[in-house]
Structure formats: C-alpha cells, structure tokens
Structure 1
Amino acid sequence: MLLGCAALAVCASLAACAGDSGPPVINWYINPDNGGQSRLAQKCATNAGNAYRVAIQTLPNDASQQREQLVRRLAAKDSSIDVMSLDPPFIAEFANAGFLREFTGQDAKVVTDGVLDGPRTTAYWKGRLYAAPFTANTQLLWFRRSVVAAANVDPTSTAFTWETMIKAAERTHRTVAVQANRYEGYMVWINALVVSAGGQIITNVQAGKDATPAIDSPAGNEAADIVGGLARSAAAPPAMSNAGEEESRSAFQSTTGGFMVNWPYVYAGAKDDVKTGAIRQSVVDDIGWARFPAVRPGVESRPPLGGINLAIGAYTEHPEYALDLVTCATSLRSTIDYMLDAGNPAARGAAYDDPRVVAAYPMADLIRTSLNEGGPRPITPYYNDVSTSVQRTWHPPANVRAPETPEETARFMSDVLQGRRLL
C-alpha cells in the first residue's frame, strides 16, 4: 500500500514527497571530466532513495571561463545553481561575495574528516568553511628511467633541482616538459617555483585589493631564472610557450622526452595510449616518478596543489538536498571510486591505502605526501586578478628574466588591484 506525505506524521528529511512534478532537481555545475561526476551523482541520488534528481551542467574547460560563467549567474542570485565544482583558488572570491553557503557544526566535520592538510586549507575563507574538498590534485616529476641512467642523476634525491634536471636533459639531448601556455596551468608552475623557494606571490591577502604583491623577491627571481632558463635552453620542447597538460604529455612520451612535471592522470593516460596503439608498452615501462623538483638543493619543494572543491550556492532553493549530494560525493568511498573512474586523486588520506588505488597508482604514497605538503596558490578574493597579472607578465617564457620580470609583475599587479590598470 502506498501512502502520500499527508498520511505520514513525519517525512524523512531526504524523502519528502514531490507530488506530481516529481522529485526536485539539483543542478550540479561541474568541470569537464570523463563522465565520472555524472555517474557519481546518479549513485548519490539513488542512495538518497531518489528523493532528488541531479542534472549535470558542464562548464567550459578553462578554469577562468568556468569562474566567469558562475560569477555572472551568482551575481544575479541565480537559484538554479545548487552545487558547484570549483577550482580551489576561487573559493575565497565566491565566499567573500556571499555566493556560497557555509558548512557549520556536524556538517563541517563530516566533509573535512580525514582530509589531507593541503586541500583542507583551500576550503576556508576567513576561518569559515565554504567548500568540501572533493579531489586534490598535485604534480609529480615524471622521468624516463633510461634518460636518468644515461645522465647519471637521481631525481629522488633532495639534491636534485630544476637546474640539475635541465642540465641532465641537455646532456642527453632530451626535453623537460612543462605547462607554459598563458593559462592557469602556467600560474600553477610559477607559484610552485616561488613557494618552493620560500616566497609568496602576494601577501597580506586579508586586505583584499590592498594586499601586497610579493613576487619581486629573491624567491621570485629564482623562479624567473628557472622559467626563462628552461625556455631558452636546448631542453625546452618545441612550442613550449603553447603547452598545456596534454601537449606536455605528448612531448614526454615522444622519442625526445626526458622529464615532465604534470598531474598523476598522465600515468593512466600513458597506459591507455598503449591500448590504442599510440605508444608501446616499453614507454610506460620506462616511466619513473619522484617529488616535484626542488628549487634549492637540500630544500624540499612545495608541490603544486590543485583539485576540485564542492560548494553549495547561496541562493539554492534545496539546501538540504544539495548538502546530501555534497556529503555523498565527497565521502571516502565516493572519492576512491571517482579516483579509479576519472583518475583524479582523492582529498582524503585514507584513499591512498585502498588496495585498488595502490594497484592503479603505484606512486599513491608519493601523491599523498605531495598533497599534504603542497603549496596552495594565493588564497584571496582577487585571485583572478593576481593570476592574470602573473600570466601576462611572464609570457612568453623565453622573455622571462630576473629581476626585471618579477619587478614588472609586482607593479602591474598592484596597479590592477588598485584599479589603475585593466586586465
């Protein structure tokens, strides 16, 4: 016998009747992936007894375009934005503008329990939790074992630096693949170099537009020496200034590939390329990995920190269902499943002990360490201005020189933040 809600004394919080119109639709705005978030959404809705349905809305590939689309709609108080997959640097801006619902009390504990230190820091603004860490990406150094042997270097040593790597590549007539197109991936590389050298791109971020550009520093100069030095060296891949993640991967897997910094998905990508016949198994067998290279000998690097945080829109009409979706999607089991499905590392540390993860990613423990000790990009509500200022003044990489480039960046960034120049 079926009973309507009117016949029940109390309806479960996630099983309210939806009448003839069916259960409410929760819109989840996602970064493009292989369909893993859509499959995860369906699982979460099923686990909730189909009390809600999830409609996947796919954002553009570029992180800046994702931000722009969401900001415009949230500024208009669009209630259809229930859940968002956000690049961590945008959390501060969205939270500061009042676009996100805060996680409090037990809800905050549930979505942060067991999350690694690196990704956890990216979910807060002014001490308040505005996002649930979902995936937590980091970059590793990938190298060809045969090239390392020929160059007689040890990429796992704390003495192995960017300078060591570039010289090893030159000696063996191989390349160092990086992401140096004028996009967010380039900012990721530059920021990792600066923080690995003990500096910051910008400080006093709580002051908003009055924050202090800090890239004009010894650390900024060391980063500039590496970027410009590689771009002008024989170790630079062709079209380095136009390279993103996939172009870097292609260069690394080619006959001239020697070293590469990139996200862990590249290992699964290489194995997939063997299946399609794009490369031989011998290429995969020749791939080794180590921590992101150091800037200074003996000083461990601060690897890049990326990933995706899930946030709930401030104007959603279904906050309880949005919360259920976020809680389900960011659970330990869900993030393990998503890591195996989509190849994006989980934010929770225990995921890297799962036998399936270890089998798929033999470098799982290194990924976890890199995430825990990674260096986040600047956490500021003006992040887009900060990032774009760096991208513009550091491109093309062959023109980057110390101290001129860091000095120019600091001036340009200050002018942009103060409204004296437009991006």
Structure 2
Amino acid sequence: MKRIQFARERRRRAIALASAPLVAATLLSGCGSSGGPPTLTWYAMPDNGGAATRAQQCADASGGAYKVAIETLPANATGQREQMVRRLAARDSSIDVVSVDVVFTAEFANAGFLRPFTDEEKARLTEGMLPAPVETGMWDGTLYAAPFKSNAQLLWFRKSVAAAAGVDPTSENFTWDEMLKAAVGQGKTIGEQGARYEGYMVWINALVLSAGGEILKDADAGRNATPALDSPAGLKAAEIIGNLARSKAAAPDLSNAQEENARASFQTGQGGFMLNWPYVLAAARGAAEEGTLDQAVVDDIGWARYPRVFPDKPSAPPLGGANLGVGAYSRHQDLAAQLIECVNALPKATQYMIDEGEPSPYAASYDDPAVREKYENADLIRESIADGGPRPLTPFYVDVAGAITQTWHPPASVTAETPKKSDQFIADVLAGRRLL
C-alpha cells in the first residue's frame, strides 16, 4: 500500500515535466524486420562506446533471440531522471532497459516504473558483487536494478605538501581537522564540490555518515521519514564545512565549484588536498601526455582513503554509480532481464573499467592484471566502494537533497544552527508545507 500511494503521487508530478528530445537510437545486430526477433531498447548513459559494445556482444550471443538499440540519455543525472520519469509515467512500452543513477533507483522502484527481479535473478545478477552497490538497487527488500558501474571518492593530496606539513594522509586515522590544519599551515587549498548541486550533497552526506549519523531515519518511510541532521554527527559535519569554507584553505570558487573546478585548482601551485572521484589520476596523466600539465605535478599526486571525521571511526567514502532496471511497461521484460544479466557479467564489467574508466561493482575485477596495471590504486578503490556510504535511499530523494543543498549553501554560511534549520525545511518539504 505504501508503495502504491507513493507511486500515484510521483506519477502525477512526473506527467507535468516538460518534454525534451531523445538522441536517435543506434541499432545493434542488424536492421530487423516486422517478423524478426524483437529489438530491445536500452536507454544508456553517455560513454565512449562501452555500453554499445557490451550490448552488441550480448545480441550476438543471444542466438538471434533479440537485437539491441541504444538510446543515449543526457549527460547529467538530473536530465536523465527527468527524461525517464516523464516517459515511464506515460507508461512508455519502448523502454526495455534503463540506466538509473543510484540516487534515483528507489524513486523509480517505488513509483512502479521498474519490473522487480526474482530471487533467482537477483542471486545470479549480484553474485560476486560488492554489497554496497547492490544495496543501491534494492527497494522494500527487493532488487529492482542491478549495479552496472560503481564509484567512490578518494582523498587526493600533493605529496610535497603533506611532507612539508608533516602529515600522512594514508594513515588510517587521518582526519578532516588534521587535513585543514595542514592545508592552512602550508598556505594550500582543499578542493571540494561546494556548488549548489548534487556534488555538494555528496560531501554533506559523506561527512554525516562518517561521523556515525544519517540524513534520514527510516528513509524507506517516504514522506514520513524523520530528518536526522540535528545530531552530533550533523553538527560535526556542519563544523567541518563551515570551518573549511571560512578558512584560507578554501578555494576562491568553492561555493561554485564542481568536480572539474576542484581538479583544476588542485593541479595549480596552490593545490594541497582534494576530494574527488578516481578519474582524477587518469585525467592528470592524460593532460601530461598532451603537454597541458607538467609531469612533475602528476608525480606529486598521492591518494588515500576518504578522511575520517573522528580518529576512532572509519570513514564512509561517498558512493556513486549507476544501475540497470527493466522497464515496467516493456513488452519484452524477460528478454530485457536476460540482456541485463549478459551485459552485467563480470568479464564485461572488468573490461568496461579498463576501457571507460568506470569502476566495477565486482570485487574480482580489481584482481585482474590489466586493471591493476592501469589502476595503481585498485585496492583502494575496491575498499572505498565496499565501505562506501550511499546517499539516502528514499523515493523522495530529489526533495531531500534539494532541501539540504538549499539550506547548507553557500558553504561559508554553514554554522551550528544549520542542521536544525535543515531538518525543519526537509520535514516541511516532505509534508508539502513548503516548496523548493
């Protein structure tokens, strides 16, 4: 009953979303005909062709059971969600397989937009996967979307800066407070994502989880969930953000900074530390090969696990990624489930990590020699994903995240009063008393 009530409300809101054009489909494994095998349409996130390669391999291996057409979704998660919610709310039967950001999976499942996997399918789809990514595909005890790719933020640091400050970011009890002291002492910056967007929510959530708290109690209660930021964990998170933002270690553009802004600042002479995704190392090496970044900067980059909030409590690195689900209105649901099982197989996920730079949800991928050759920090990425902390798994994630990023922005305005104000705003938004 809870899921049905939430679904009706989400569908009413979704139908009101504005229309936007889709990118034309790329048909794999032949042109097809009215009397031939069905063509499964996969709405996939943009990449360099890795998804299409996996789809083609599966179409070829199906023995003629199906063909696959790729529809490319918008580049950002918000655009992806709006496009898919609008079409699924209209019961679009052309959506066979859909890529869903980890933060929206609960919303899609609760709204009835995804066909649930059976227990047998779940066992096959998730065997060998790290538990944290699998959890992002669950709703109400059922798997609705299987992890396609995963991710976790790392701590990046300039070795020379850490050495001069006399700190070891790779020590297991390295904290945010210690990092801030080191950066200020050396006159260097800490790169973060402080713009009013999803990256800022990632930062806030990671601090709260790392401090032993949570954004919501009973997140699966939907609009009846209890905001929980006004807690010791939330207060410590606010202290860290406010102290950094008002310090000399804050980059001048912190309140507008996204991932690439933080990376650019980190690679300058002012860079000291940075929180960002694993792509950073490959990007720096690529820039050095192109001649746009001094090799000495690349050689000076070190990496470590996400910092702790408290010395005696392990951090919860930010968890990202995307899942694959079967469209609830697809005319070929069983074949779509077979396609997901095929494209999500361990060898394909491992190769995707090598080719696309997208970390795999499988533990075994990180033992592959080719992965280890490309990723010196493979073990750290695997550990960070395994211990990663998801953002709230709620069907009203958009409302919750919007309320938080609004009340916690700009970072320099965050004080001990912010968590309490944020809790009230979240509660009001969930109850329909206030709008974002």
1:314 paired to 2:328: yes
Q: Is the Cα contact below 8 Å between 1:173 and 1:256 reproduced in 2?
A: yes
Q: Is the Cα contact below 8 Å between 2:156 and 2:273 reproduced in 1?
A: yes
Deviates more, 1:318-327 or 1:266-275: 318-327
1:201-350 mapped onto 2 (5 Å cutoff): 201-350=215-364
Deviating beyond 6 angstroms after TM superposition, the runs of 4 or more aligned structure 1 residues are: none
Change over 3 Å in CA distance of 1:123–1:20 after alignment to 2: closer
Q: Is the Cα contact below 8 Å between 1:88 and 1:309 reproduced in 2?
A: yes
Shift of 1:188: 0.8
Partner deviation per Cα, 1:357-404 (whole Å, 9 max, x = no partner): 1111111111111111111111111111111111111111111111x1
1:420 paired to 2:433: yes
Aligned to 1:117: 131
Provide the secondary structure at the position in 2 that maps to 1:98: coil
1:94 and 1:139 map into 2 onto residues whose CA distance is 25
1:103 paired to 2:120: no
Q: Give the total of aligned pairs.
A: 407
Aligned to 2:44: 30
Aligned to 1:11: none
Q: Is the Cα contact below 8 Å between 1:176 and 1:258 reproduced in 2?
A: yes
Q: Is the Cα contact below 8 Å between 2:194 and 2:258 reproduced in 1?
A: yes
One-letter identity of the residue aligned with 2:429: V
Provide the secondary structure at the position in 2 that maps to 1:352: helix
1:186 and 1:345 map into 2 onto residues whose CA distance is 21
Shift of 1:93: 1.1
Shift of 1:47: 2.4
After superposition, the CA RMSD in angstroms is 1.6
1:142 and 1:42 map into 2 onto residues whose CA distance is 37
One-letter identity of the residue aligned with 1:128: T
Q: Is the Cα contact below 8 Å between 1:133 and 1:309 reproduced in 2?
A: yes
1:67 and 1:304 map into 2 onto residues whose CA distance is 20
Shift of 1:18: 6.3
Name structure 1 gaps, 5 residues minimum: 1-14
Provide the secondary structure at the position in 2 that maps to 1:156: coil
Partner deviation per Cα, 1:131-152 (whole Å, 9 max, x = no partner): 1111111011011111111111
Provide the secondary structure at the position in 1 that maps to 2:104: helix
1:165 and 1:105 map into 2 onto residues whose CA distance is 45
- Could you tell me which of 184, 207, 210 is aligned with 2:198? 184
Partner deviation per Cα, 1:226-259 (whole Å, 9 max, x = no partner): 1111111111112111111111111111221111
Aligned to 2:88: 74
TM (normalized to structure 2)? 0.90
1:347 and 1:159 map into 2 onto residues whose CA distance is 26
Aligned to 1:411: 424
Q: Is the Cα contact below 8 Å between 2:32 and 2:39 reproduced in 1?
A: no
Shift of 1:64: 2.2
One-letter identity of the residue aligned with 1:83: V
Q: Is the Cα contact below 8 Å between 1:158 and 1:299 reproduced in 2?
A: no
2:185 and 2:234 map into 1 onto residues whose CA distance is 27
One-letter identity of the residue aligned with 1:226: I
1:140 and 1:398 map into 2 onto residues whose CA distance is 23
Aligned to 1:48: 62
Shift of 1:26: 1.9
Q: Is the Cα contact below 8 Å between 1:182 and 1:242 reproduced in 2?
A: yes
2:271 and 2:206 map into 1 onto residues whose CA distance is 22
Name structure 2 gaps, 5 residues minimum: 1-28
